[in-house]
Structure 1
């Protein structure tokens, strides 16, 4: 089945979707009229079901029609700001015989993409945009970046973007319609089957378009450049996921945000241990589906190898050389990642400080506070002394303490009390300057004593939680670390921020 035929079929199915909606709405109106003319109980039941379903369909379509696109991601760069990048894109557009984009935007994503605002179901183009992920510029060579840009411009050359907008709109409408029919199982099954058929056809069009754009990319950069670019993008995306989940997720904890997002990502990408981890993640077999918008990496690489190799002079320089000042560009893109509120309320800090304060806020602060509050409630103390929790354990009232912790939001389990106690004891050491969370690009942050030894309290906390007489030894151990018996944990947000240049 050719791409053109698939596209025509997708548009036909999209039109058929609206016809199907119209038929159901029309049938509902017809039954309502029949009830008015000649009332029957059986007709009433069918009319109610069909009218409610028609209402759900119309409501779903109205909601979709009201959806408006948000602000474009990233930052727009002009020809004056990035002359080399613009010249590169314009030269490549000429090579693939298409008009260049009207706007180039640098985005904080492991991706490159193009879009095209259109009218009259894609027959008329209004404005073209190109999105270039800064992480790609960090990891690709000029040669590889040119191939990627050639691929994206190939979507313009093949009119893929004009087909994409209405087809995407159809996907959104169908999915919203299916979700809006939750109370109408019979009609929902009908539209679910129709949606699956539409998605299989339309996503098949998208996959074929990706292979066609790959042909453009190879014609510009050659097989090695495009193949290596795809492999790097696959690995960089896996690395960015690790970075976002492990490091960027600490943003906001402790009232801070990283002063340099992309320098941190560069450090992670250049760590040998992380390189091995990312290679393992990228090497996992891909799960494929008829509903995928892109062919698998293996299929794309195999298709590229079958293409002829064009004459080409390699350019192994970093793709960052396409930017006038990579540092300035990275800073601008980073600023676009934060909301106005985050920019004004979160203090920019080094990654070392973000990890140190963020890990305490994420792992220890709540455990420290809640254990003290739970202990106060169990023994009836006047204030939430941490020692009140120890006293509850010493009295053998662990079950009561666990119930109070569950009331504060902790998930009940046989090891809950030991886990909270261990995290709280870590927090005590941190609050008293005996230990600190330490940044590592090779793996998770590590809690270390001043001498570099790793803090490991989980086993000890489990022993104390299960053995009331062990509380005496715990109190002595804390006293040796300078912790007073009347110590009251202070929530992290209530502590004064450290002076610039001083440790927390």
Structure 2
């Protein structure tokens, strides 16, 4: 399909949306006039109100679209003197592609490269061009591979794809704004939703064809080997970056701890995990397909590239970072510019790993200490009390309290893990050992001389009644004092939580309404509005408004460890009672008009409460 035909389809779809809106308004207007002529009265008046509301909603949506302006470009601007090699490469590739070079290059903290164009006349007239280059790509790729990626992106310019992208954006914006203004549950809103599905299907099919066209530029200019290599490495680098952020960067995020040099750490991770990255690289490239995807499967794109003639382009295996004048300085500036590190304590990687793991370990130890205190009737718990309860044969009770979900083996494993966390914290507080940072494996708890301390072995002894005396002996031999670790929090927090699902408009006695979020470690109750419409959208909007641990500070968080019993009185719509260890009861019932984030959320809630159920009287 040629570019001109694709452009015609995009324009036709966008024009079709406006035509659909005009036809619907005209039809509603005609029906309104007919009703007033044939059946004047209340019905005609109500229909007139509906017509005016829909017409007003369309006018508001169109006004927002017309007035919409491009947002501020993301990323760190790269002036030529700070990235002469990158600018020269971009200009050389633009000449080879046969298009105008970008007016601006911006550095972004993602495994990505992209181009954008600030167009006018709904995208039909060109404008300022911006190229975005991810610093992680520069860190992981060779110059050859980066040239392939940039040739692909510049190919989008050559094929007028960026102009078509502006058209597509306008089309999506028009449909979304209209549905928001009119309401997705109305008949007219439903018609626009059907049109939206058609529009997105066609748009994504067009987008996939554009990707194949841009790939041809990659092979022709950078060479087939470089293009295939870059395409095969993209998901590998993306997986490495996600692993790096999840396992290293955010290890102390909720405790307001952050690494002093984020991007420098990624380079060290790439060097330390070369074996694992090689295994990922040798595995089959992703081949998943969906009609909703904007990009073809990587496996299909590689096959298409391998079938293209090789251009014989000269190779350049230098690290892509050589295209920047001072990579280290730019890395630090991008970290300040693009990452949310304000208000956080910046630490070297060694200190961050130790401090970040200690925060999580204290969270686990505190849940164990609180459970021990409840079982023993003590004001607070500690490691000595935990060992005492285990020795008395109450390990199963402790395990069920700290790990209510899961089978017996999973509960015992959870108990052992928390005892191990407490032992490590005691050793750390006594100066016996600490968590040691590693780029090639997980962190190890070891002595100052680097020898590993057998925390897991001692924890397994301490979690079984018959071997508690042996655990005490081993702790003494290792120089670990039980009293060196103490309970620091009196109740659980939502740190480390994630939302699994949610139910809107649950009713509580006193004509109160609540929206309930199901977390991996508890429930969160948010006061609901009197108007119960749009419950699902409200749940999603709140969920996206802030991190879960911040939301839990604003609303009521009920950790699972605070629940003593639960009773489900009715399955559909769900009606339940939750009794807390404090004696407080929470009675919640769902109306027939209740909404949820997904269709499985009621099952999620039932599964979350199943370990606490003592009374189950389901009815239809």
> Are the structure 2 counterparts of residues 264 and 35 from structure 1 closer, same or farther at C-alpha, using a change threshold of 3 Å?
same
Which ranges of structure 2 fall in alignment gaps of 5 or more residues?
Answer: 490-620
Does the aligned pair in 1 maintain the 2:219–2:311 contact within 8 Å? Answer: yes
Deviation digits for residues 190-244 of structure 1, max 9, x if unmatched?
4444223212211222222222222223332222222222222232222222222
How much does 1:434 deviate?
3.4
- The answer for the alignment partner of 1:16 in structure 2 is 16
- The answer for the alignment partner of 1:293 in structure 2 is 294
How much does 1:167 deviate?
0.2
- Which one has more relative contact order, counting CA pairs under 8 Å at least 6 apart? 1
Does the aligned pair in 2 maintain the 1:110–1:240 contact within 8 Å? Answer: yes
- The answer for the alignment partner of 1:162 in structure 2 is 163
In proportion to residue count, which structure has more strand? 2
How much does 1:102 deviate?
1.6
In proportion to residue count, which structure has more helix? 1
- The answer for the alignment partner of 1:147 in structure 2 is 148
Q: Secondary structure at the match of 2:154?
A: helix
1:34-433 paired onto structure 2 within 5 Å: 38=39, 71-174=72-175, 184=185, 190-252=191-253, 255-270=256-271, 271-279=273-281, 283-310=284-311, 312-339=313-340, 342-343=341-342, 345-362=343-360, 364-394=361-391, 405=402, 414=408, 415=411, 416-433=414-431
Compare 37-46 and 389-398 and name the one that shifted more. Answer: 37-46
Separation in structure 1 between the aligned mates of residue 406 and residue 68 of structure 2, nearest angstrom: 41
> Are the structure 2 counterparts of residues 393 and 18 from structure 1 closer, same or farther at C-alpha, using a change threshold of 3 Å?
farther
Separation in structure 2 between the aligned mates of residue 57 and residue 393 of structure 1, nearest angstrom: 67
Separation in structure 2 between the aligned mates of residue 399 and residue 181 of structure 1, nearest angstrom: 56
| TM-score, length of structure 1 as denominator length | 0.80
| TM-score, length of structure 2 as denominator length | 0.67
How much does 1:437 deviate?
2.3
Does the aligned pair in 1 maintain the 2:354–2:434 contact within 8 Å? Answer: yes
Which ranges of structure 1 fall in alignment gaps of 5 or more residues?
Answer: 492-504
Does the aligned pair in 2 maintain the 1:246–1:444 contact within 8 Å? Answer: no
Separation in structure 2 between the aligned mates of residue 463 and residue 31 of structure 1, nearest angstrom: 80
How much does 1:117 deviate?
0.8
How much does 1:319 deviate?
1.9
Does the aligned pair in 2 maintain the 1:273–1:442 contact within 8 Å? Answer: no
Compare 111-120 and 182-191 and name the one that shifted more. Answer: 182-191
Deviation digits for residues 73-99 of structure 1, max 9, x if unmatched?
321011232223222222322332322
How much does 1:129 deviate?
0.5
> Are the structure 2 counterparts of residues 328 and 185 from structure 1 closer, same or farther at C-alpha, using a change threshold of 3 Å?
same
Q: Secondary structure at the match of 1:125?
A: strand
How much does 1:145 deviate?
2.2
